[in-house]
Amino acid sequence: MELLKIKNLSFTYPNCDKKALDGIDLSIEKGGFYLLCGYTGSGKTTLLKLLKPETAPFGEKTGEIEYSDVFGSEVSPFDIGFVSQDPNEQTVTDKVWHELTFGLENMGLSKKEIRLKTGEAASYFGIAEKFNCSTDSLSGGEKQLLTLAGAVVTNPKLLILDEPTSQLDPITAVSFIDTIRRVNRDFGITVIIAEHRLEDVFSLADRVIAMDAGKKIACDTPENVCSLLKDSRLFMGFPSSARIWRDSGSSGRCPVSVREGKAFIKEIFGEHIAEYVPEKSEINESPEALNVKGVWFRYEKDLPDVLRDFSLSVKKGEIFGILGSNGVGKTTLLKVLAGLNKPYSGKIRVFDKKIEDYKRGALYKSCVALLPQDPKTVFIKSTVREDLEDILINCGAKKDDARKKAEETAAGFGITELLGKNPYDLSGGERQKCAMIKLLLTDPEIIMLDEPTKGLDAYSKNRLIELLNSLKNEGKTIIAVTHDIEFAAAVSSRTALLFDGELIAEGEPREFFKANTFYTTAAYRIANENIKNAVFCSEVCAAVKEYTGKNE
């Protein structure tokens, strides 16, 4: 049964020449699980927001959205639940219970009904024990779960989620997606979810809707969408198994999960075991940029240690990737390395000089820079231009020179058109790039990055990798902490795993990922039984091609 039908929908924002949506036709079946994918700026969010009358943006709209009879004569706000990216913006009240009751209170239900419904919802979503806590005490994942519960408790017909996991770590993200899937299966609530990270959600979807530049370019089952979009630039963000399938000749049905990918490789290789022969990597013989020895750190006297006898050595011109799960202390570690948190024992030397000997901010002048998880915190002015000029003046430039240099730098990085914009109006990828450029204006030798891929789409991620590589070639040292395994594998010259306050495994990416079972790339998990040494999709594909070429 059809839940709603979108007919030739186009949308243009005020003061904008380009259409955000261009002639979308779509039919949403009741009880379906729809995955909406596309890059930032493809119109995903606009489409999702238009589906719910209360969130519909201002602008010029043509075409129609026809709601079926299920919704009655008028679509009430309780019929369509909406969950967006940032859990902080969505939490309205200060108590968990109040967050759950908020929608029900708005419906005007009686106290008794509300008590029953919230009790049920809290139990179903496993937040019963947090019921009386303040919302502020929840983790990001719990907050997002609470938002979902708050949306589901009013018994909606349609649930819309706009990149709900982009601020979560991969493991929390997977369990969140599972919960959504459960809601979809248990109650038959129709789900439309937009996502960047497709690895896990792709195979769960009944239908995948692909969008590019405001147009719908596909809407079909996951396998069929893969075949349809073989040559699209969107494919870059598709699951590893699909990319391996495409790049090794796209024969047969497309595998869309690791399990299917494994079967796909097995079918080709059978019992044969191939080996990928990597190029010899150069040995970095540069001097040490950062040396950490026996560092202990905790926040307060009676709290547990976050870093325990932590040691690390990073050479100049390296990209050092540090992996670790949530709450293991990655951000704390970076702050210790950047001199923001002071360890109570141990030594940190930056370019062979003790970190304490850098007085009065000398550490942050042409030496160390830290890109925080949330790039919004980097900006303190109302336009990107002002921010760039501000940092240059802070570094000692004159006003005119600062203006000129800011413009030159912007042109160099291709962000001239962003200069006049407010940092809050930029997309995640753009904002991060501008933050990075602001950081680079202090001319740092060591750049530290905290979760740099958070919320980025595949395209922006690739651009970031290019930028980091070019910085590396200039001789900059980069230390990145991340839980994005694919990113760490692609960019780092050495990788380590942070666990229980110290680095427990460390080595070149290939060696590192080969030795791991859980913390390794999807490509390796797909192919490790048949192809030795292959860690990336491209390597798996090369091995597949070589093998099939030989056999023909």
Partner 1 sequence: MNKKIISYLIVFLGIPAVVLLGNTVFSGVKYVWFMIAVSVLSTVPFVISFEKKEHSVTYLLLIAALTALSVMGRLIFVAVPAFKPVTAMVVITAVYFGPEAGFLTGAFSALLSNFYFGQGPWTAFQMAAWGLIGFVIGLMRNRLKQSRALLCVAGAVSGVVYSLVMDVWDAIFADGTVLWSRYVSFLATSAPFTVIYAVSTLVFLLLLEKPIGKKLQRIKDKYGI
Partner 2 sequence: MPKEKRFFREGGRRVVKAFAKFHPVTLFAYFAVILLFSMFIRNPVTVCLSLLGGAAFCSTLTNKREKLDDIKFYIPLTVLIAITNPLISHNGKTPLFFLNGNAFTLESIYYGVFIALMIIAVRMWSKSYSRIVTSDKFLYLFGRFAPKTALILSVALRYVPMMKAQAKKIKDAQKTLGLYSKGSYADNVVSTVKVYSALIGWSLENAVETGKNMKARGWGHGKRTSFSSFRFRAADAVVLVLLAVFSAAMLISLRTGRLAFSFYPEPTALPADPVSVFAYVCFALLSFIPFFIESEENIRWNCLRSKT
By CB under 8 A, name the binding residues for partner 1. 58, 382, 422, 425
Residue type for position 499: F
Pick 103 or 239: Cβ nearer partner 2: 103
Nearer to partner 1, 55 or 533 (CB): 55
Q: Which of 8, 62, 88, 123 binds partner 2 (CB under 8 A)?
A: 88
385 binds, among partner 2, partner 1, none (CB under 5 to 8 A by kind): none
- Quote the least distance from Cβ 149 to partner 2, whole Å: 12
Helices assigned H by DSSP within 308-377: 330-337
**Which partner in partner 1, partner 2, none is near 135 (CB below 5 to 8 A by kind)?**
partner 2
Q: How far is the CB of 15 from partner 1 (least distance, A)?
A: 11
Question: Distance between CA 147 and CA 96 in Å, rounded?
Answer: 10
Q: What kind and span of H or E run contains 507? A: strand 502-507
Q: Which of partner 1, partner 2, none is residue 19 near (CB under 5 to 8 Å by kind)?
A: none
Alpha carbon 518 to its chain centroid, in Å, reads 19
Q: Rank residues 64 and 425 by Cβ distance to partner 1 and give the closer one.
A: 425
Q: Pick what 372 binds: partner 1, partner 2, none; C-beta below 5 to 8 Å, kind-dependent.
A: partner 2
* CA quadruple 255, 260, 265, 267: dihedral sign: negative
Helix (H, G, I), strand (E, B) or coil at 311: strand
Q: Which of 61, 115, 347, 349 binds partner 2 (CB under 8 A)?
A: 115
For partner 2, the binding residues in 293-352 under the rule CB under 8 A are 335, 338, 340
Report the partner that residue 114 touches, choosing among partner 1, partner 2, none (CB closer than 5 to 8 A by kind).
partner 2
Task: Tally the C-alpha atoms within 13 A of residue 157's C-alpha that lie toward its C-beta.
Answer: 19
Residue number, 130 or 461, with CB nearest to partner 2: 130
Beta strands of 259-306 (E only): which ranges?
274-275, 288-297
Considering CB distances under 5 to 8 angstroms, the limit depending on partner class, which of partner 1, partner 2, none binds residue 439?
Answer: partner 2
Binding mask 370-399 for partner 2 (x = CB under 8 A): x-x-x-xxxxx-x--------x--xx----
Least separation, in Å, of the C-beta of 58 and partner 1? Answer: 7
Nearer to partner 1, 393 or 467 (CB): 393
Partner touching 104 among partner 2, partner 1, none, CB below 5 to 8 Å by kind? partner 2
Cα–Cα distance for residue pair 378/364, rounded to 1 Å: 14
Distance from C-alpha of 211 to C-alpha of 124, rounded to nearest angstrom: 34
For residues 372 and 378, give the distance between their C-alpha atoms in angstroms, rounded to a whole number: 8
What angle separates helix 240-247 from helix 537-551, to the nearest 10 degrees?
A: 40
Residue 7 CB, shortest distance to partner 2, in Å, is: 24
Residue list 428-467, contact with partner 2 (CB under 8 A): 438-439, 442
Q: Name which of partner 1, partner 2, none residue 115 binds, using a CB cut-off of 5 to 8 Å depending on partner kind.
A: partner 2
Q: What does the radius of gyration of the chain's CA atoms come to, in whole angstroms?
A: 25
- Contact of residue 58 among partner 1, partner 2, none (CB under 5-8 Å per partner type): partner 1
Q: Which two tokens stand for residue 407?
A: 């413009």
Candidates 30, 70, 71, 133: give the one binding partner 2 (CB under 8 A).
133
Minimum gap (Å) between residue 102 Cβ and partner 2: 6
Q: Any residues with CB less than 8 A from the CB of 118 and at least 6 apart, and which?
A: 97, 100, 101, 104, 153
Binding-site size for partner 2 (CB under 8 A) equals 68
Q: Which CB, 15 or 73, lies closer to partner 1?
A: 15
- What single-letter amino acid sits at 312? L
Residue 55 CB, shortest distance to partner 1, in Å, is: 13
Beta partners for residue 166, in sequence order: none
Please pick, from the candidates 5, 266, 308, 365, the single residue that binds partner 2 as defined by CB under 8 A: 365
Distance CA(104)–CA(97), nearest Å, equals: 11
Residue 151 binds which of partner 1, partner 2, none (CB < 5-8 A, kind-dependent): partner 2
SS3 track for 340-352 = CCCCCEEEEEECC
Binding mask 46-85 for partner 2 (x = CB under 8 A): ------x-xx--------------------xxx---x-x-
| Closest separation in Å from C-beta 525 to partner 2 | 35
Strands ordered across the beta sheet of 353-354: 307-315, 288-297, 345-350, 353-354
Structure token pair of residue 401: 């020179």
Residue 119, helix vs strand vs coil: helix
DSSP state at residue 283: P
Of 357 and 425, which CB lies nearer to partner 1 in the complex structure?
Answer: 425
Cβ atoms of residues 163 and 194 within 8 Å? yes
User: How far is residue 256's CA from residue 240's CA, in Å, rounded to a whole number?
Assistant: 8
Is 154 or 179 the residue whose CB approaches partner 2 more closely?
154
Residue bearing tokens 């750190």:
297
Spatial distance between the Cα atoms of 216 and 221, rounded to a whole number of angstroms: 14
Which residues of the shown chain bind partner 2 in the complex (CB under 8 A)? 52, 54-55, 76-78, 82, 84, 86, 88-95, 97-98, 101-111, 114-115, 118, 130, 132-137, 150-151, 154, 335, 338, 340, 360-361, 364-365, 368-370, 372, 374, 376-380, 382, 391, 394-395, 424, 438-439, 442
